[in-house]
C-alpha cells in the first residue's frame, strides 16, 4: 500500500508541476494575441508566424494542463449526482472510471501517437506555409508527453481510489 501511495504522490507532484508551468504559457499567448491584433489592424500587417504561434501556445498549454485538471479535481464531472453519493461509491466510480475509461483512452492515444510524432521529428516537420513556424514536430511531441502524463494521472487516481476502498478514512 505504501508503494501505491508513493506512486500516486509522485505522479500528482509531476502533474501539478507540469500544469503550473504550462499555465505560464497563457500570459505569453495573450501577449502574442495583442501583438498580432495591433500589427494586423494597426499596421495592416498579418504574420503567419504569429498565427501559428498562437495555436501552438494554446495547444501546449491546454494539453499540458490536462493531468493538472484531473489531479486538482477541476475536470468535468456530474457533480449533481456525485455530491449525493457515499464516499465508498465515489471511490468505486473513480477506480472504475480511471481504469476502464480514462487510462485506456490516454494510453492508447499515447501509444498510437508515438509513430506519428516520431515521423514528424525524423522529417523535421515544419509548417506548410513558407513563412510559418519551422518546428511543427515540437508541438506534436508535447501531445505525447501530455497524453502520457494524463494516462499516468489516471492510474494515480485509480491507486488513490483503491487505497480509499482498502483503508477508508474515518469520517
φ/ψ of 65, rounded to 5, equals: -90, -5
What is the value of pTM for the model shown?
Answer: 0.85
User: Which pLDDT score, from 0 to 100, does residue 80 have?
Assistant: 67
Q: How far apart are CA 169 and CA 171, in angstroms?
A: 6
Of 71, 94, 96, nearest in space to 82 by CA: 94
Q: How far apart are CA 109 and CA 168, in angstroms?
A: 33
Q: What does the angle CA 18 – CA 20 – CA 24 come to, to the nearest 5 degrees?
A: 110
Residue 72 DSSP label: T
Tens of pLDDT, residue by residue over 125-134, are 888 888 888 8
DSSP string, 138-159: HHHHHHHHHHHHHHHHHHHHHH
For 83: left if phi > 0, alpha if psi spans -120 to 50, otherwise beta; the answer is alpha
Tens digits of pLDDT across the chain (171 residues): 789 899 999 999 999 999 999 999 999 999 999 999 999 999 998 888 999 999 999 999 999 999 999 898 777 766 667 777 888 888 898 899 899 999 999 989 999 999 999 999 999 888 888 888 888 889 899 999 999 999 999 999 999 999 988 886 654
Tell me whether residue 68 is exposed, middle or buried, using C-beta atoms within 10 angstroms of its C-beta: 0 to 12, 13 to 18, 19 or more. Answer: buried
Amino acid at each position: 500500500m505504501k508503494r501505491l501511495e508513493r506512486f500516486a504522490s509522485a505522479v500528482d507532484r509531476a502533474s501539478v508541476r507540469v500544469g503550473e508551468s504550462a499555465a505560464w504559457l497563457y500570459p505569453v499567448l495573450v501577449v502574442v494575441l495583442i501583438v498580432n491584433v495591433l500589427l494586423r489592424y494597426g499596421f495592416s500587417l498579418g504574420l503567419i508566424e504569429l498565427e501559428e504561434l498562437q495555436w501552438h501556445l494554446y495547444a501546449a498549454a491546454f494539453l499540458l494542463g490536462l493531468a493538472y485538471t484531473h489531479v486538482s479535481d477541476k475536470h468535468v464531472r456530474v457533480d449533481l449526482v456525485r455530491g449525493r453519493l457515499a464516499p465508498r461509491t465515489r471511490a468505486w466510480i473513480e477506480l472504475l472510471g480511471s481504469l476502464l475509461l480514462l487510462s485506456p483512452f490516454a494510453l492508447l492515444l499515447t501509444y498510437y501517437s508515438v509513430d506519428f510524432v516520431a515521423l514528424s521529428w525524423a522529417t523535421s516537420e515544419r509548417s506548410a506555409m513558407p513563412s510559418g513556424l519551422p518546428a511543427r514536430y515540437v508541438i506534436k511531441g508535447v501531445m505525447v508527453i501530455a497524453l502520457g502524463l494524463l494516462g499516468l494521472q489516471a492510474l494515480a487516481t485509480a491507486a488513490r481510489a483503491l487505497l480509499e476502498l482498502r483503508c477508508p478514512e474515518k469520517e
